[in-house]
């Protein structure tokens, strides 16, 4: 299958949705202000990016600054979640005493919705980047942690025994056997976590900061600028898609030893 045909397959569903949306919006079934057509949203989005006719008013030409603010918060919160989630997940999965002492607390905190931490986050960190980063961390941490624990616990026991019989130390076992075996699960957690990070970034920017894509989305809602609301939603979706694609590239490089032996190897 050629690259052109693969690109066409990926574009079929989005193009169909956009065409149906354009027709429905212009049919008059709903007021155009409540459901702007994709062409209107695209025009507003373009002005938000490049500022050619001030359609987006106070936000004209500010898209890159807003996207950078959101991406910075995602990078900070997600980075902390990756480091802490992977390290703690390996410790819980490998050492039984860590599992007995730490996991009950983790399991009690995990069901608490991250948005319920917003009041405490604002009290602890104030109105700035810190509460937003904290909420992003909460959203990404638990998926990464739970998948890492699963990956460590499902490592092949025969491989661990074989390495032990060859004289491998505990540190060598963790580095050369357990961690590589857990990588597929860890990457699954990283992909789930990056989606949660973007969702929590928008939530945090609605209440805790005065910049970013989430702030523009919420501010536009108050001024009934639904074209800008939809442009902000599309921006978040595209950035989330791009970061997930980046993780998939890293996953493909890190799990090269799986190529040819899994269903994933069929993907081009």
What is d(CA 130, CA 192) in angstroms, rounded to the nearest whole number?
22
The reported pLDDT for the residue numbered 148 is 96
What is d(CA 260, CA 43) in angstroms, rounded to the nearest whole number?
45
Res. 98: pLDDT tops 60: yes
Q: Are 151 and 185 in contact (CB under 8 A)?
A: yes
What pTM was computed for the model? 0.87
Q: Are 131 and 204 in contact (CB under 8 A)?
A: yes
Q: Where are the alpha helices (DSSP H) in the chain?
A: 3-26, 38-50, 63-94, 96-109, 118-125, 129-153, 157-165, 170-173, 179-207, 213-222, 226-254
> Higher-confidence residue: 243 or 115?
243
Least-confidence region, from 24-28, 150-154, 180-184, 213-217:
24-28
> pLDDT tens across 52-62, in order?
888 878 888 89
Percent pLDDT > 70 in the chain is: 94
> Higher-confidence residue: 8 or 192?
192
pLDDT band at 27 (very low <50, low <70, confident <90, very high): confident
Res. 265: pLDDT tops 70: no
């Amino acid at each position: 299958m050629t690259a052109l045909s693969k690109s066409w397959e990926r574009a079929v569903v989005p193009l169909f949705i956009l065409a149906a949306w354009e027709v429905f919006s212009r049919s008059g079934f709903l007021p155009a202000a409540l459901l702007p057509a994709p062409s209107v949203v695209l025009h507003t989005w373009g002005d938000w990016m490049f500022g050619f006719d001030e359609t987006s008013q106070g936000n004209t030409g500010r898209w890159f600054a807003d996207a950078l603010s959101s991406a910075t918060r995602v990078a900070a919160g997600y980075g902390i979640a990756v480091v802490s989630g992977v390290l703690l997940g390996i410790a819980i999965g490998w050492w039984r005493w860590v599992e007995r002492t730490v996991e009950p607390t983790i399991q009690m905190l995990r069901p608490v919705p991250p948005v319920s931490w917003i009041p405490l986050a604002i009290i602890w960190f104030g109105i700035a980047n810190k509460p937003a980063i904290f909420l992003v961390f909460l959203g990404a941490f638990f998926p990464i942690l739970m998948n890492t624990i699963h990956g460590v616990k499902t490592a092949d026991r025969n491989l661990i025994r074989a390495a032990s019989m060859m004289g491998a130390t505990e540190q060598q076992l963790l580095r050369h056997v357990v961690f590589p075996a857990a990588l597929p699960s860890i990457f699954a957690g990283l992909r789930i976590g990056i989606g949660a990070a973007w969702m929590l970034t928008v939530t945090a920017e609605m209440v805790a900061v005065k910049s970013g894509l989430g702030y523009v989305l919420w501010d536009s809602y108050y001024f009934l600028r639904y074209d800008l609301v939809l442009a902000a939603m599309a921006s978040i979706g595209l950035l989330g898609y791009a970061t997930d694609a980046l993780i998939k590239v890293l996953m493909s490089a890190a799990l090269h030893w799986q190529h040819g032996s899994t269903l994933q190897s069929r993907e081009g």
